[in-house]
Amino acid sequence: MRRNRVRAILWLIFIMLVWGSSYAVTKSVVDILPPGCFSFIRFTIALLCLFPVYLASNKRSAAAQKFKPGDWWWLLLMGITGISFYYVFFNYSLLYTSASSGALIQGFIPICIALAGVFFLKERLTVLQVAGILLSFTGVILVGFIATNDPAEKSSLTGNLFMLISVFSWATYTLVSRKLSHLQPLVITFWSGCIGTILLLPLAIYEFINLSGPIHIDIQGWLALVYLGAISSALCFLLYNKAIEQLPAAMVGNFLNLDILTGVLIAVLFLQERISLMQIIGGLLILSGLLLSSRKMKSSH
């Protein structure tokens, strides 16, 4: 059991590094490809990667498809929140705001997940868990305040509002996935992805019909789409749902702060966004909160 939890933590670290890069990668494509089309192509690629794995899994284990009454409603909700809503609003947000500002708003996800886990999943937060969450969240505020006040960046109330909607959508996706713990993570990932991608199609068609001119995607753009679809979506969604099986919602939510720290650092390195002493201090607070929360969870099991 302890080994499974350690493995889940390592998965989360890898996921956060990949997802942290998605701010900069998305920013490089979203001005070329409309957000709805972007999301639809991304998850079509993801499903093409997952489909052969899903078929192979079904051949090995008939138990993978043991659905209970009501499961499809939960999968529908996961598809709407974790695929359709989250990525459409995420992409639209980065049309108006910077990668650093987007990363700041994402800092609300751990708070939403932890508190919802307390109210809806009856999870209890220890003093150290609360302290870890507060430390990490304080770090997120420090990291993001400089970014939002930087005159060199484009920041907008509209973009931040869109990112906030995506935050609530992802928190809902994470909690709903716990209702389907009797299904294999691959089954959850594949079917919620199918539902969410189908729901994206009308928006993608609408955007395509109303384009003002032809779309020109260069090789870097296609590599970005493949990276976001195959790695950031297909692989990381699968590992994320596996991690949720092994770890409490509060701990998973707190790890999402590492995504924010990585996102800001990559934005600085590749988008030439500025970094300051306050952002460095904020990053250290984020990591301190993660270590504090993780150590407590390991010692309590």
What is the Cα–Cα distance from 95 to 103, expressed in whole angstroms?
14
Q: So what's the pLDDT on residue 49?
A: 93
CA dihedral 141→167→8→180, nearest 10 degrees, is: 150
The pLDDT assigned to 130 comes to 82
In the prediction, which pLDDT does 238 show? 84
* Residue (of 135, 133, 106) closest to 267 by Cα position: 106
Q: What is the pLDDT of residue 181?
A: 81
Q: Which residues of the chain have pLDDT under 50?
A: 147, 150, 152-153, 296-301
The CA distance from 274 to 65, in Å, is: 49
Name the pTM for this structure. 0.78
Residue 274 identity (one-letter amino acid): R
Separation of alpha carbons 39 and 200, rounded Å: 7
pLDDT for position 166: 92
Q: Output the pLDDT for position 296.
A: 45
pLDDT of residue 152: 47
